[in-house]
Structure 1
Amino acid sequence: MGHGWEGAVLKLLRGKDFTFTVTGAEQVTEDYRRLHFTDGGLLGAAGVHPTMWVRMWFENAGKPHQRAYTLVDPDVAAGTFSLEFALHDGCASDWARKAQPGDTIEATLQGTGFDAPEPRPSRLLVIGDPASLPAINSLLAAMPEVPATIWFETSHASDADLPIRVDPVRHELRRVPRRDAGGHLVEEVKAALPSLVSAAEDAEDAAGVYVWIACDTATTRTLTSYVRKEVGLPKGRVHGLGYWRAA
């Protein structure tokens, strides 16, 4: 399958193409599926960094369709990783539901750069949902010594069983049911975030907070603007990336 005009643009941006092979599958919940892959040389060529993602190519009514997914537990020596799919209607979820060992899929590596903040922050403030869960887990693993507060938006009862890798000693997990197209999450974050920022900023020898936001595009945009303009955090201490678009 060709990659169309999007693939041509990624080539111009020096995107690198790989072919992954499915080696196994786990149905984590009825709404969440994990697939295991061999990497087709990806990890040896590119290495690994926190929240690393790739663009996967799916067929949608005979046309190429790309979606980004975060690598889970990448093993450079073994050349393996997993991907996790929050299942809904769509060609990517349809493919993930049916994928079996031996199936292959094409992917492009481009645009995935992320550097963990230095110096390490006094506290992480993380806002996400099942679509960004692999990236949340990767971020927490990259800075295990840093306390974190995580607002995690949920849409299904089964989301209570998702593999959120929190340390009960260092991490505070706040589950927020999705309401009002993300508006409820925005209200919850705005009610609590300023005081957490102030506490971290005022602590002795504080390095300040780092805010990481990855929800639906509209919610991410709203919260990123709020943290930058109203809370007043500088650009280098805020990361916002919309992971999906609400229908």
Structure 2
Amino acid sequence: MVDAEQYYTADVMRVTDLNSIFRRVVLGGPGLAGYSSSGHADEWFRFVLPAEGRTEVPPPKIVDGHAVFDEPRPRQRYYTIRAIDPDGPVITVDVMLHGHGAASEWVRAVQPGDQVIMSQSWGRYGPAPDADWELIIADPTGLPAAGRILAELPAGRRAIALLETPGPEARLELESAADLTVHWLDSPDLESGAGRLVEATRDLELPSGPGYVWMGGEQAASRDIRKYFRKELGWPSGRYDIVGYWRPDSEGYLKRYATVQDQVAEIYQRGTAAGQDQEDTLDEALKVLEANNL
């Protein structure tokens, strides 16, 4: 695999509004030469934005295999690769227009001809080999990844998609050769964290036989859905990949998290040293977070 610390300079080729909350940005140019996919349909990358008060990001220096940016350090955000054409390479990114901050300001102002710095990609999506069906769950932040997963499913693959947006106007078009059933949920108060995915997942009648679940969405909903499959249904860790993409009041959360971060770090260090299963380590860390109302 390509070193994950590699960074590339990409040219913005096209910008298109898909609907009321999504804008599509197509990236290409000679600076992407050598860029390759991680091989995961939900792959994401670090998008590097100028530090506050700056307009450009100097390329990083590689020190001991790690990328080091000059001070003041740029801001970094994660985005999903909606599609990648290796012949260019040309990379398509569907970005959600929401809230405030550096990333939202950038995507509202971006124009063809602009340049961005982006990292190599990572991913997690990977169904168990014996899975007879898949359940794909996403709120708007996970919708670009869900769209790519569904588009890459083979013909005849049985799949269910449980997808949440603020309303019908925010839905994205889906393409899939799979035997696909789609359930759309409308949740106007999503940005406050008042989503419906947990309840809808629990109410869903799952197919018989071994399955696989992928989810990308709000942190608390992701935690509850992971707990449902892992604790209540007794699924082993190889049958799900459930990722928390965001949380309401992230600044307030980070302040509260600072009170337990050393304890959580110790749990992960101890688990890694003992060769503990990552999901078992996560269970321990979540107990600490839940005990502190995080």
CA 1:176–1:66 in 2, change beyond 3 Å: closer, same or farther?
same
In the alignment, structure 2 segments of 5+ residues that lack a partner are: 54-72, 250-294
1:182: Cα distance to partner?
4.1
Q: Which amino acid aligns with 1:234?
A: P
Contact 2:21-2:98 within 8 A present in 1 as well: yes
Contact 1:209-1:237 within 8 A present in 2 as well: yes
| SS at 1:51 equivalent | coil
Contact 1:18-1:40 within 8 A present in 2 as well: no
In 1, Cα distance between the equivalents of 2:162 and 2:125? 22
1:72-93 Cα deviation digits (max 9, x unpaired): 2211112111111110123212
Give aligned pairs, total.
Answer: 222
Contact 2:26-2:91 within 8 A present in 1 as well: yes
Aligned counterpart, 1:186: 198
In 2, Cα distance between the equivalents of 1:200 and 1:44? 43
CA 1:163–1:125 in 2, change beyond 3 Å: closer, same or farther?
same
Contact 1:166-1:173 within 8 A present in 2 as well: no
Alignment partner of 2:138 out of 111, 128, 133: 128
Which moved further from structure 2: 179-188 or 64-73? 179-188
1:172: Cα distance to partner?
1.0
Alignment partner of 2:42 out of 51, 65, 72: 51
In 1, Cα distance between the equivalents of 2:86 and 2:175? 21
In 2, Cα distance between the equivalents of 1:157 and 1:64? 36
CA 1:172–1:182 in 2, change beyond 3 Å: closer, same or farther?
farther
1:14: Cα distance to partner?
5.1
* Cα RMSD for the two superposed structures: 2.3
1:19: Cα distance to partner?
1.0
Aligned counterpart, 2:208: 200
Matches within 5 A, 1:24-173: 24-38=14-28, 42=32, 44-49=34-39, 50-59=41-50, 61-62=52-53, 64-89=74-99, 90-109=101-120, 112-114=122-124, 116-119=126-129, 121-145=131-155, 146-160=157-171, 162-166=172-176, 170-173=179-182
In 1, Cα distance between the equivalents of 2:46 and 2:234? 33
CA 1:235–1:54 in 2, change beyond 3 Å: closer, same or farther?
same
| SS at 1:152 equivalent | strand
CA 1:15–1:40 in 2, change beyond 3 Å: closer, same or farther?
farther
Matched, 1:175 2:166: no
Contact 2:27-2:91 within 8 A present in 1 as well: yes
Name the TM-score, length of structure 1 as normaliser. 0.81
Matches within 5 A, 1:204-243: 208-243=210-245
1:48-101 Cα deviation digits (max 9, x unpaired): 422221110124634622111111221111211111111012321221111111
Contact 2:138-2:217 within 8 A present in 1 as well: yes
Q: Which amino acid aligns with 1:164?
A: L
1:40: Cα distance to partner?
5.1
Which moved further from structure 2: 39-48 or 218-227? 39-48
Contact 1:149-1:171 within 8 A present in 2 as well: yes
In 2, Cα distance between the equivalents of 1:237 and 1:53? 21
1:188-224 Cα deviation digits (max 9, x unpaired): 11111xx31xx322xxxxxx10011111111111111
Q: Which amino acid aligns with 2:186?
A: P
Q: Which structure has the larger Rg over C-alpha atoms? A: 2
Name the TM-score, length of structure 2 as normaliser. 0.69
CA 1:157–1:243 in 2, change beyond 3 Å: closer, same or farther?
same
